[in-house]
Structure 1
Amino acid sequence: MNLSFVFLQAAGGGDYSFLIMMVAIFAIMYFFMIRPQNKKQKEIANFRKNLEVGQEVITAGGIYGKIKEIEDSTVVLEVASGVKIKIDRNSIYANAAANQQTK
């Protein structure tokens, strides 16, 4: 009985260390996981908004191509000479020219 009394007193003693620890864990998760991911998503959205005809891009599926036409929600890519595909604008992921320069 004496040992259980000590455990109950320690658990409900009004100590705010658990609350502080949980806030610290959430802050660490925010700054190391959530914030960088939101920043990356904003960069990709800005890139998709500023697409231009003639720009070389990479799709989310890994297809390299050159933009031939831009419509409201679709883009026509030329993946080889005379081979054009129509894809959703949101599936364009990166600039191919910038990606090749970094390698």
Structure 2
Amino acid sequence: MELLGALLPLLLMFAVFYFLLIRPQQKRQKKIQEMHNTLQKGDKIITIGGVHGTIDAIDDDRIIVQVNGEQKLTFDRQSVREVVNPD
């Protein structure tokens, strides 16, 4: 009985950490991974470095981004922060 009394606060603390920290982070990671998997040529994007451009070409792990209508830069697919396509 004393063991249960000693473990109960630890279990409650773990549950609070799970629901307030771990689970939301897992949801964010899943959403980001889904966004990276659905990137397409023509998507307007912003990279984690703040570069705005349009995807010109894409393969499994790299994208070529057209910036200012003429310059093309190569990035890792994981460097895309968000897709800003107008709906």
The TM-score, its normalising length taken from structure 1, stands at 0.76
Query: Quick check: which one's helix share is greater?
Result: 1
Counterpart-to-counterpart distance in 2, 1:79 and 1:32: 39
CA contact (8 A) 1:64 1:96 kept: no
Q: What are the equivalent positions in structure 2 for 1:21-60 lying under 5 Å apart?
A: 21-60=9-48
Counterpart-to-counterpart distance in 1, 2:6 and 2:48: 42
Counterpart-to-counterpart distance in 1, 2:42 and 2:67: 12
Question: Counterpart in 2 of 1:4?
Answer: none
- Give the length in aligned residue pairs: 87
Counterpart-to-counterpart distance in 2, 1:17 and 1:63: 54
Superposition RMSD in Å:
1.8
Higher relative contact order (CA 8 A, sep 6+): 2
Q: What are the equivalent positions in structure 2 for 1:73-84 lying under 5 Å apart?
A: 73-84=61-72
Q: Deviations over 1:23-48 (max 9, x none)?
A: 10110110011001101101110111
Counterpart-to-counterpart distance in 1, 2:42 and 2:3: 63
Alpha-carbon distance, 1:95 to partner: 1.1
> Highest Rg: 1 or 2?
1
Structure 1 outlier segments of 4+, above 4 Å: none
Counterpart-to-counterpart distance in 2, 1:61 and 1:18: 48
